[in-house]
Amino acid sequence: MNRKKFALLTLLLSVLIFTLAAQQLAVSQQAEDLKPVLAEIERAGGLKEHPDANALVVFEETRTVFDESGEFTSTEHALVKILTDKGKQTFATRKLPYHRRYSTVKVILARVIKKDGRALPVTAEFMKDGTMEETQAMNIFEENFRRLSVTFPGVEVGDSIEMTVETHSKPLIQGHYNDLTLFQSIEPVLRKDVSIDGPASKPLRNVVKNGKLEFSEQKKGGRVVYRWRAVNLPKIEQELAMASLADVATRVVTGTFRDWKELSKYGDSLNAGKVDSNEAMKAKVAELTKDCAAQEDKILAIFRYVSQKIRYMGSSMDLGAFIEPHQATYTFEKQYGVCRDKSILMMAMLKEIGVRAYDALINVSRSTDPEIPIIFFEHAICGVVMDDGHIVYMDPTLELSSSFGETYVGGRYVLLLDEQGKDLIKVPPIPAEEGLGTIRGETQVLPDGSIQGKVKISGKGFYDFVLRSVAKQVPAFQFPMVFQQLGQNLATTIKIENVKPGEFADLAKPYEINFEYKAKDYVVDIGKLVMFKIPFSTQAFDIISVGIFQVLADREERKYPIFLFAPRGCREEETIIIPPGYRVKAVPDPVSIREGPVSLTLTTALKGNEVAFTSDFRIEASSLDPQGYQGLRKVVRGLRRFQKSMVILEKVEAGVPGGGR
């Protein structure tokens, strides 16, 4: 072997030895890194210690550092142990939404830690960054709203997943920082540590809601580090129709704003130059309002254009309502936008007819914590100032809203964005009457023991909106099936016929659903007497409330509030026609129950040989706390007792006049 070949071989062997040594060192270092993690996984236990858990959040550590401008970097390190298949389905993919104009998201570490202690890193092929599926489905290309999805391949029950994510964000609010941090989850959290490091010149106001946390505050030079810690936090038990996790979990609200007025002014500054117009928009406003005499009609015409013609690009990001909106002319041209874009466009179009309006921020699925001003609002709507100065709140993202003003805002906090600044205000409750459903019908009792009837369903406000939304989602040919299914609550023998839904998209006309029904063997014959339950007392055709009666009130008690979105109610009126040869001997006694925000009134009256039945059910709140839930249960018990009562008819001989009660 010559010297050149020998030297080359020696070099290759040296490289191989170095590579193997480096790999061994890396494995050794990884083993050292894993030791504390494996120890925590071991201490966490499993189903024996946590029999109701599907997974365990072994730890979650978040450290945030912000500067004078409000720009911040946040690093989250989390470890989750999978206990069941359901836990695997929940945690096998992590989705990280962000707005590219403001933030960058980087995965520092992502790995699966197997039961035997091996660590399997998540490779780049399992990390997908792209625009949100919701906007793609609407055929809208919006490159700034994005989502980074990280999938943990091969994860099995008994494994753990570990992840470290770094988020760097420009200030949404120049010179300020704020956050809303949940310390509880749908699974137990064994340890959670949160620290926020900020300049002393920007003191961080903070409040803990729904629980207690360890808290410390440490000054270091010109900075302050705030720390919160919790251990062994129980899981949030999921209940049907429960309020948002952000409402019921232990949480910390933090922010540097002095008051809501300051935040209101800042939000308004983002609208500067955005409420603009052009000749095309002016022409459209003129076209929409040319046949409208009253101001209210002009406002409605503009509202319906923005709600129906401008596609709504819903954002799953809580801060979506505080992202700087596009110019009104841009949204008008593109014909789509997020909630705030639609609000700005409606403001611009209203300005053309001399009507002032506010950009108004609101939380819909959760409540607003009034103690600390923060930007985390879910939604933007339009606050229209009427001639007498009062404000009507209209939501231009609701394409099927036919009423003048949204009833769901009642009882919620709203922040009006204003150049001078506005305080957070709580909108007065809006009575259920404004969103009431109406069901009217006539029922005939036939000599063969069957019944047949005609039904007309309509509503206003929230009830009308729900009816139209159902009609939009359900194809016309399936409509009879919907009421056939609901009708089973009245009688298993029911047959729904001649269903005629209205035109749900025509907001200028009241929406109605008409149909007929028949039910065999409804009347019970016991010789000289026959008996039957009042058909409408079953609440079978109240499409909104039927689930409340049947499902939501079945638990003895609830830990968390029921989320209902808006006050609601329904009034039912039924005329029952008695066949010849019978007279009414008895009808059910009336019922009147009012428990807090829940009420029910049931009455029957005789009109000749007819029975007039009315039912009036209302919930005067958008959510029911555990005490309100007990009021609902009392109302439901009263209804069920009434439903067992019978109209009793007595057979009479020909020529004998009908009797009374």
**Rounded to two decimals, what is the model's pTM?**
0.85
pLDDT for the residue numbered 324: 82
At 648, phi and psi to the nearest 5?
-110, 125
Low-confidence ranges of the chain (pLDDT < 70): 1-32, 132-142, 314-322, 654-661
How many angstroms separate the CA atoms of 401 and 221, rounded?
55
Residue 541 backbone dihedrals phi, psi, to 5 degrees: -100, 5
The CATH class that applies to domain 433-651 reads: mainly beta
Q: Could you give the 3-state DSSP secondary structure of residue 233?
A: strand
Domain 55-256 class, CATH top level: mainly beta
What percent of the chain shows pLDDT beyond 90? Answer: 77
Considering only CA atoms, give the Rg of the chain.
Answer: 31
* Strands 55-66 and 72-82, sheet pairing: antiparallel
Looking at 488-625, list the stretches that DSSP marks H as alpha helix, in order from N- to C-terminal side.
546-547
Burial (Cβ within 10 Å: 0-12, 13-18, ≥19) of residue 25: exposed
Q: Closest Cα partner for 462 from 493, 434, 485, 441?
A: 434
* CA–CA–CA angle 143, 145, 148 (5° rounding): 100
Which of 434, 32, 56 has its CA nearest to residue 233? 56
The whole-number pLDDT of residue 343 equals: 95
Q: What pLDDT, on a 0 to 100 scale, did the predictor assign at position 225?
A: 98
**Where do the domains of the chain lie?**
1-44, 55-256, 263-430, 433-651
pLDDT at residue 607, as a whole number? 87
What dotted CATH number matches 263-430? 3.10.620.30
Find residue 532's DSSP bridge partners: 647
pLDDT (0 to 100) of residue 132: 60
pLDDT of 313 reads 79
